[in-house]
Amino acid sequence: MLHSSALILYRMIVKVKKLNLMAPINSLGYGVVGLNVLKALHRDVHVSLFPLGNLQASSPEENLFLQQCVNNQASFDYDSPCLKVWHEFAMAERIGKGQLFGFPFFEITKFDPKRINSLLSTDHVIVASSWAQEIVESQLDRDIPVSVCPLGVDGAIFNGKDIDRKAPREKCVFLNCGKWETRKGHDILLQAFQAAFHEQESVELWMMAHNPFLNPKETDEWERYYRSDSRVSLVPRQPTHQAVAEVMRSSTCGVFPSRAEGWNLELLEMIAMNKPVIATNYSAHTEFCDDSNCLLVDVQDMEIADDGKWFKGDVGEWASLEGNTFDQLVEHMISVYQQWCQDPLIPNGGSAQTRELFSWKRCADRLKEIVYA
């Protein structure tokens, strides 16, 4: 990042584009995207930040940077475009009079009238994957441009640089990251783990699955279910991205049996860490997952998206994890374990290319192509 005086001089010499950014800045999914998009755009775009919710900075330096972007509100350009990184059902409000570019992430295939009306209030919809693009285009009854802009990963934090020098663990560790949800496949992952391995095998399952939106009773139900197997460790929520990377570095393989994803940043981070991963071959993460970097679990059937809490059956379908799909998940876990028995340091052959293709700089460059076309 340029020093503030150098940045001012740069902007005097070069006519810098302006943008009004509406986004949360916190440790949750939208907040992580908002922060990284802001940082990547800031180099050559004058961004006025209008945060959605309270700012959560991870360091004094980051807090100073964010406050400077918020202070730009005092001289924001009301004719400049507005980029809103937020839910598809909450796009109506905007900053200024420029074009509104909505950037939502979703796991559903069917929009209710509220979502449709909200998206129709934008001038342009941006989504992270071709999967999401097809869904939006099929749902809207008015011709609004829909463009794909894949998200990125912070390669300075999530990389496999030191993995070959780190002493391998005595057990093969499968790691799942993602808040407790049926959508994430947490209802079947323990069953698959137990079907794959008997108690004498050198395996562990780590669950980093804290969900701040659950009440204590719901959290306890998930945790008690997984604690029923002594080979499972519940990893607490980590305070920083660097701490998350350390947990990933200490694991052997990421396993993500999700029914649907709006992106799945943790899966991308595991790939960037040079770790083998297992994931369902469906929804948004197929934008960056293929046979070169992932053990894909093919989906044989779809089912109504209904978990009794967040999804009530009126939002379309998602992947079924039963039958052959469940069997493939088990087989992939066994395959990884067999490889680990031969060589505890199992590299992901597609890691470097994935990390290069899906960076936050590339994400910002694509956003500029769309917004300033």
* pLDDT at site 13: 46
Average pLDDT score over the chain: 93
Mean pLDDT of all residues in 285-298:
97
Sign of CA dihedral 185, 35, 241, 341: positive
Do 45 and 191 lie in one domain? The reply is no
Q: How does pLDDT run across 112-122, given as a tens digit for each residue?
A: 999 999 999 99
Mean pLDDT of all residues in 19-30:
96
Do 364 and 285 lie in one domain? The reply is no
Is 56 contained in some domain?
Answer: yes
Distance CA 141, CA 264 (A): 28
User: Half-sphere exposure of residue 257, counting CA atoms within 13 Å on the CB side?
Assistant: 24
Do 228 and 258 lie in one domain? The reply is yes
Is 157 contained in some domain?
Answer: no
Is 158 contained in some domain?
Answer: no
Do 220 and 113 lie in one domain? The reply is no
Do 346 and 367 lie in one domain? The reply is no
**Number of structural domains in the chain:** 2
Q: What is the CATH number of the domain that holds 29?
A: 3.40.50.2000
pTM of the model: 0.92
Do 141 and 176 lie in one domain? The reply is no
Mean pLDDT of all residues in 251-265:
97
Mean pLDDT of all residues in 253-271:
97
Is 261 contained in some domain?
Answer: yes
Is 64 contained in some domain?
Answer: yes
Do 130 and 171 lie in one domain? The reply is no
Place of tokens 């180099």: 43
Do 168 and 303 lie in one domain? The reply is yes
* pLDDT at site 206: 98
Do 351 and 363 lie in one domain? The reply is no
Do 76 and 196 lie in one domain? The reply is no
Is 97 contained in some domain?
Answer: yes
Secondary element (H or E) of residue 233:
strand 232-234
* Intra-chain end-to-end CA distance of the chain, in Å: 25
Mean pLDDT of all residues in 178-206:
97
Is 216 contained in some domain?
Answer: yes
Question: Radius of gyration (Cα) for the chain, nearest Å?
Answer: 21
Q: How does pLDDT run across 351-363, given as a tens digit for each residue?
A: 999 999 999 999 9
Q: Are 82 and 96 in contact (CB under 8 A)?
A: yes
Do 219 and 237 lie in one domain? The reply is yes
Nearest to 207 by CA among 199, 195, 219, 216: 219
Is 167 contained in some domain?
Answer: yes
Phi and psi at residue 335, to the nearest 5° = -60, -45
Q: Is residue 234 pLDDT above 80, yes or no?
A: yes
- Give residue 87's domain range: 4-152+359-371
Do 75 and 44 lie in one domain? The reply is yes
Percent of the chain residues topping a pLDDT of 70: 94
